[in-house]
Amino acid sequence: MAIAIPDTTAGGTTAEDRRAWLRRVTIPVLVVLLLVAIAASSTIGATEVSVSGALNAIGDALGLETGATLRDRVILFDIRLPRTVMGMLVGSGLALSGAMMQGLFRNPLADPGLIGISAGAALAAVTSIVLIGGAGLSVVAWLGPHLLPVSAFLGSLVVTVALYGVATRAGRTSVATMLLAGIAFAALAMALTGLIVFHSNDTELRDFTFWNMGSLGGATWVRIAGMLPFFLITLFAIPFIGNGLNALLLGEAEAYHLGFSPQRLKRWIVVLTAASTGAAVAGAGVIGFVGIVVPHVLRLVLGADNRLLLPASALLGATLLIFADILSRLIVAPAELPIGIITAVIGAPVFISILLRRRSVIDI
């Protein structure tokens, strides 16, 4: 007697095809979105610059006779564009460090803002301004615009290493310990940052909101140049760590069996995470939730393959932060909201939804 066997092949293949198609179109779509964000960010703001005015100013900078007004050129090149570029770098840096950190801790809830890595960077940056800047040491002149990113990088590195040490026993990372210790680190670092800022006479420093909630308002080309090396290191590393990070998601022993050195891999991920988080904090203060929202949304669409997830996170992180910045400029114009408020409003519900959907990810 013939028994009909249900055809499981058909369903499986369709899902696979759909994902393959999504994987092909994702990068081009994200690039287009980023370009739209850049265009919007260049033209929207307290002072109107029309699209044609912006294009004229760009043409003018390229040496064409476009008759661009001085006002348009100043607004575009000295205010809007540095701010937009800073948003791109900070957004991609935060999203990338979130994605890498989630691989390192093997958990989708790790976020540099949430677990104190950004706060450690902020504390180190503030401390370096007060200690080194106040003493007027020659190291400041030598490091110049790199001073803040370097100290923020060291601050995030210390917190990441400490957190990994506290949360990992014999190769197993306790997610509960990681989150709770991270929250404690964040609270402590923010309190100390507040203390230093409160007692400081430095006008640049006295803005605690900047360190606490973040802002792209301080963007200048000099600042961007100071942060750039840290972002570039991380961006260049993307193609080399995707495979290893995928293997690491199975566990350290499995990564070793698949031909990777887990120790070397982990060290690189810690350094790269600290570099991009530190640079982001040095440029725009502590901005939360970008590192958790962006990789999470992308995993829903693309799956967990880090070879695609990492570059896609960089693109979507940049786009998201630029749009968040536009909102922060528009909502209470002509004043500005701290950008961290916008990202928290978007990000906290996503975080809670991950918790509700996957309670098992925190195995206390």
Partner 1 sequence: MIAATDISFSIGRARILDDVSLEAPPGNVTVLIGPNGAGKSTALKCLTGEIRPGSGTVLFHGRPLDSFSAEDLALRRAVLPQASALSFPFTVSEVVELGLRAGRRRPSERRIVCEALDLVGMGGFSGRLYQTLSGGEQQRVHLARVLTQVWEPVTADGPRYLFLDEPTSSLDIRHQIDVLEIATDFARRGGGVVVVLHDLELAASYADRLIVLQRGRVVAAGDDAHAIVAPDLLRSVYGLNEAMIAKRWPAMAQAR
Which residue, 66 or 168, is less far from partner 1 as judged by CB?
A: 168
Residue number, 65 or 363, with CB nearest to partner 1:
363
Query: What count of other Cβ atoms lies within 10 Å of the Cβ of residue 66?
Result: 16
Strand partners, 169: 172
Q: Report, in Å, the least distance between residue 349 CB and partner 1.
A: 20
Residue count of the chain: 364
Phi then psi for 305, rounded to 5 degrees?
A: -60, 110
Least Cβ distance, residue 313 to partner 1 (angstroms)? 14
Query: Mask of contacts with partner 1, 299-328, x by CB under 8 A?
Result: xx--xxx-----------------------
Q: How far is the CB of 131 from partner 1 (least distance, A)?
A: 41
Which of 15, 70, 356, 364 contacts partner 1 by CB under 8 A?
A: 15
Which lies closer to partner 1 via its Cβ, residue 165 or residue 303?
A: 303
Q: Which residues 17-76 are close enough to bind partner 1 by CB under 8 A?
A: 17, 19
Selection from 102, 109, 93 nearest residue 248 by Cα: 102
Q: Which of residues 212-271 bind partner 1 (CB under 8 A)?
A: 243, 246-247, 249-251, 253-254, 256-261
Count of residues in contact with partner 1, rule CB under 8 A: 36
Binding mask 86-115 for partner 1 (x = CB under 8 A): --------------------xxx-------
Nearest residue (CB) to partner 1, 106 versus 134: 106
Beta strand spans in 225-348 (E): none
Return d(Cα 289, Cα 189) in angstroms, integer. 18
Out of 46, 131, 333, 361, which residue is the one contacting partner 1 (CB under 8 A)? 361
Beta strand residue intervals within the chain, DSSP E: 168-169, 172-173
Residue with tokens 């779509």: 29
> Which one, of 291, 32, 302, lies nearest residue 156 by Cα?
291
- Angle at the Cα of 201 from the Cα atoms of 198 and 203, rounded to 5 degrees: 95
- Is 211 or 260 the residue whose CB approaches partner 1 more closely? 260
- Whether omega for the bond prior to residue 334 falls within 30 degrees of 0, making it cis, is yes
Q: Are 230 and 276 in contact (CB under 8 A)?
A: yes
Positions in the binding site for partner 1 (CB under 8 A): 7-9, 11-17, 19, 106-108, 243, 246-247, 249-251, 253-254, 256-261, 299-300, 303-305, 358, 360-361
